[in-house]
């Protein structure tokens, strides 16, 4: 159980318990209500009414309620990058859905976390004192698409989750990605500033939508890490609203580092597709604007192999010869630890499939495949 404490100073003399809790602990109003109902706020070790005035030297303590998730445990490997008693950071593998949904009720990362938690709790009863053995409620701070790999942060209590999500909203949590994009991007670095929205509420895709039509501000910064001269053919949509969509010869590929000022759904994938350099293997945005593509050709695209979806049977066809999913990896995180105040920097290297793809494009591929390791 996480405990928070505050000892009153001269300046606090006469303030009510309610005021001290509101001023000194960054709890949501919902959590404060839960704490009061559960008698989890004490003054000098005793429960007191919230209106009572306090004096210098009084010790206010708050114990967060014990909670535990109830997802069915499944033996799914979990790659832990960092863990303490307050939070957990894992490196999600591609092809894994983060949390159960109606379409994917099991075989998710959260099912794997439940298995890990139950296993470690059993080890603790046998004498182990390893970090993370105590059961907790899984609280996601960020999410990734099924086929995006990389770092996901899980808070172990409501306070840590709220603090980290506020850091993310305020831009104090810095997230960086690595992506392999179609084509040679000439600029060494740049910024894509295009508002994004959902043109069709019945479709999962998003696209560039003007602010006045409901689009949300979306900013992506990119830096070129490596260019690969590798001519190949791909289908890509014309920039003209009524132009043809045809097979094009692409000059190569570009390995990019990307940093987000905002965190919109599919932001990197849409922004790169919108400037003519879609993420390699991206089945949703490989043709550019998916809605323009449908206007010309209908919607013949089936889902990826093994994925269940509304577009008919699964299809063994792969979008790219290099990789069987979109080549996007969340490799770096910077944030302030909510409990210790420590500045955290976490990284994870390219997953095996992206390492192979990059390695296959260059004679010195091994050198560049190991970027971020």
Q: If you average pLDDT over every residue of the chain, what do you get?
A: 84
For the record, the structure tokens of 228 come out as 């690969």
Amino acid 365: pLDDT = 43
Burial of 258 (0-12, 13-18, 19+ CB in 10 A): buried
pTM for this predicted structure: 0.80
Say yes or no: domain 66-168 is CATH 3.30.160.270. Answer: no
pLDDT score of 251 more than 80: yes
State the distance between the two ends of the chain, measured CA to CA, in whole angstroms.
35
2-16 mean pLDDT? 89
d(CA 26, CA 31): 10
329-340 mean pLDDT? 95
56-75 mean pLDDT? 84
Strand partners, 115: none
Query: What is the DSSP annotation of 7-53?
Result: E--GGGTT-BHHHHHHHHS---HHHHHHHHHTT-EEETTEE--TT-B
In the chain, % helix, strand, coil (3-state, to 5) comes to 20, 30, 50
d(CA 184, CA 66): 52
SS3 for 297?
Answer: helix
What is 3-63's CATH number, 3.40.50.1390, 3.10.290.10, 1.10.760.10, 3.10.110.10?
Answer: 3.10.290.10
104-119 mean pLDDT? 87
**Every domain of the chain and the residues it spans:** 3-63, 66-168, 178-328
For the record, the structure tokens of 160 come out as 């840590």
């Amino acid at each position: 159980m996480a405990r928070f404490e505050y000892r009153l100073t001269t300046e606090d003399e006469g303030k009510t318990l309610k005021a001290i809790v509101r001023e000194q602990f960054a709890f949501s109003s919902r959590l404060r209500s839960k704490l009061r109902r559960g008698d989890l706020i004490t003054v000098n070790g005793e429960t007191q009414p919230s209106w009572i005035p306090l004096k210098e030297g009084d010790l206010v303590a708050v114990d967060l309620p014990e909670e535990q998730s109830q997802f069915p445990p499944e033996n799914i490997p979990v790659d832990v990058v960092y863990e303490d008693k307050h939070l957990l950071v894992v490196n999600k593998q591609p092809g894994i859905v983060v949390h159960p949904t109606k379409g994917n009720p099991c075989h998710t990362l959260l099912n794997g976390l439940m298995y890990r938690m139950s296993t470690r709790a059993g080890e603790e009863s046998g004498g182990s004192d390893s970090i993370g053995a105590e059961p907790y409620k899984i609280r996601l701070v960020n999410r990734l698409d099924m086929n995006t790999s990389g770092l996901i942060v899980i808070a172990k209590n409501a306070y840590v989750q709220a603090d980290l999500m506020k850091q993310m909203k305020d831009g104090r949590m810095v997230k960086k990605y690595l992506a392999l994009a179609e084509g040679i991007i000439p600029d060494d670095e740049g910024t894509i500033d295009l508002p994004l929205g959902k043109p069709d509420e019945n479709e999962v895709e998003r696209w560039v939508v003007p602010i006045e039509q409901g689009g949300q501000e979306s900013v992506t910064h990119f830096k070129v890490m490596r260019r690969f001269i590798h001519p190949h053919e791909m289908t890509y949509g014309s920039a003209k609203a009524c132009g043809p969509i045809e097979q094009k010869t692409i000059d190569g590929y570009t390995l990019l580092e990307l940093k987000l000022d905002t965190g919109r759904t599919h932001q990197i994938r849409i922004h790169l597709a919108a400037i003519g350099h879609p993420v390699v293997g991206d089945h949703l945005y490989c043709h550019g604007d998916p809605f323009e593509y449908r206007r010309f050709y209908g919607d013949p695209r089936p889902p990826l192999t093994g994925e269940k979806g509304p577009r008919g049977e699964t299809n063994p066809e792969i979008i790219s010869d290099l990789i069987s999913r979109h080549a996007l990896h969340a490799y770096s995180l910077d944030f302030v630890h909510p409990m210790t105040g420590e500045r955290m920097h976490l990284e994870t290297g390219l997953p095996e499939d992206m390492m192979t793809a990059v390695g296959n494009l260059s004679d010195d591929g091994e050198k560049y495949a190991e970027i971020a390791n």
